[in-house]
Amino acid sequence: MLDVKKRIQVISALLEQGTPESTSYAALECRLAIEYLCYERMQMALDLASYADMGGWQPNKVVRAVEELVDEDITSLVTLSIAREPKLLPGQVLSLAEREKLEYHPIGTQAPLDLKKLTKLWNALASSALHVQVPKLRTDHLSIYGDVSRITEKVHQCLTELRKIGDGSLLSNGFGPEVSITCYGCGHPVRRRAERLTDKQTVSCVNPDCPESYTVEKVAVNDFTFDRRLVFFDCVDCGTLNNLPWRKVEKMKVFEVSDVACSGCNVLHKIGAQLGIVKAEVTGTGD
């Protein structure tokens, strides 16, 4: 976990120097702290969601994606407590009322993140401190550094938010039943929280080097199937129906081509994405 109290000390020391340079560096430290806080919560979820499904790298986008895909309480105040269970007879199970009467001891707290405020500060710190202001008139004065008083105000606002987070001692990716399959492409487990899955949803393998993705089919409550998302093409030489992962084509640039060998006769085909259409053509024969 990020040592938030240490980051507060670093940022405060930079502010105390009072120079345009140190104030700008303090703003940068604030931005980095905000990014780290968001990314570490994303990282906690990366065994239950793929980065490929996050939809962007910006801190607010990845955290919102985790809320949607894994845990709606990823930014909430959460306290985890444990209790020693009494000795039970074989087959005996404690009721909910009996469990509530046990003596619980807190073992850690997840600090809340005010994502809306942190995102606003993240943007404001950049606009005020990390960019040279664009001149609007020929007579405008250009400066490497922004307005110190404005930057200082934003840094103090960020410090206020960081102090609220400083006492957190754990991170949680939530609880609940999971479904899991073994990835066809790499053998890595593809796990998902059952309550977060929806019919026709697309999920990608969590292995960043694997191009496999799947379409979810909901069969019943907490019962799902995962169908590979594939692009198919016939070999014009032997007629074999070939396939390759859809994400391989999705990541291709327009008019980019890739050589793919037929699984039946080893004839090479050029596969390219052209305005959303997969095109295959023979370019040679295999051995």
Q: Work out the number of other CB atoms within 10 angstroms of the CB of residue 43.
A: 14
Instruction: Please give the backbone phi and psi of residue 99, each rounded to the nearest 5 degrees, phi first.
Output: -65, -35
Domain ranges in the chain are 4-83+99-165, 178-228, 230-284
pLDDT tens for 154-210 read 999 999 999 999 989 999 888 889 999 999 999 999 999 999 999 999 999 999 999
Do β-strands 241-245 and 230-234 pair in parallel, antiparallel, or remain unpaired? antiparallel
Question: Which of the residue ranges 142-151, 187-196, 250-259, 260-269 would you say has the lowest mean pLDDT?
Answer: 250-259
C-alpha count within 13 angstroms, C-beta hemisphere, residue 286: 14
Q: Whole-prediction pTM value?
A: 0.84
**SS3 letters across the chain:** CCCHHHHHHHHHHHHHHCCHHHHHHHHHHHHHHHHHHHHHHHHHCCCCCCHHHCCCCCHHHHHHHHHHHCCCCCCCCEEEEEECCCCCCCCCCCCHHHHHCCCEEEEEEECCCCHHHHHHHHHHHHHHHCCCCCCCCCCCCCCCCCCHHHHHHHHHHHHHHHHHHCCCCCCCCCCCCEEEEECCCCCCEEEEEHHHCCCCCEEECCCCCCCCEEEEEEEECCEEEEEECEEEEECCCCCCEEEEEHHHHHCCCCCCEEEEECCCCCCEEEEEEECCEEEEEEEECCC
pLDDT of residue 280 exceeding 60: no
Angstrom distances, CA of residue 72 to CA of 45, 57, 68, 175: 12, 19, 6, 11
Residues 230-284, CATH architecture: Single Sheet (2.20)
| Model confidence pLDDT, tens digit, residues 27-66 | 999 999 999 999 999 999 999 999 999 988 999 999 999 9
Mean pLDDT of the chain: 90
CA angle 117, 119, 125 (to 5 degrees): 100
Distance CA 52, CA 206 (A): 8
